[in-house]
Amino acid sequence: MSMQPSGAKSEIVWPSVITVISAAILIGAEVFGAAFAGGWALAILFGLSDTGAHILQAVLFGLGVVIMAGFIRAAQRIEPFWKRG
């Protein structure tokens, strides 16, 4: 499914795109930083090996990807990327 509306001529709404990308960069840094730090802290708490810590960090990183995808999809509904001409 295309994000661009069909039929009418449309153009990109750059202020909305830049706003969403900027917010995604900021929130992504926090989410992925928390995933790596949380994985490291939980691995120490539960006495996991380095491999276990890396696996836990990868799982939390995957959860972060899901969170970021949901954020961007919700942001596109609030800040539309396309405007019909």
Q: What does the pLDDT average to over 40-52?
A: 96
For the chain, the structural domain boundaries read 10-79
Q: Which tokens in the block code for residue 33?
A: 């930083």
The pTM of this model reads 0.75
Secondary element (H or E) of residue 47: none
Q: Rounded CA gap, 79 and 61, in Å?
A: 26
Q: Is 47 left (phi over 0), alpha (psi -120 to 50) or beta?
A: left
Tell me: pLDDT of 36 over 90.
yes
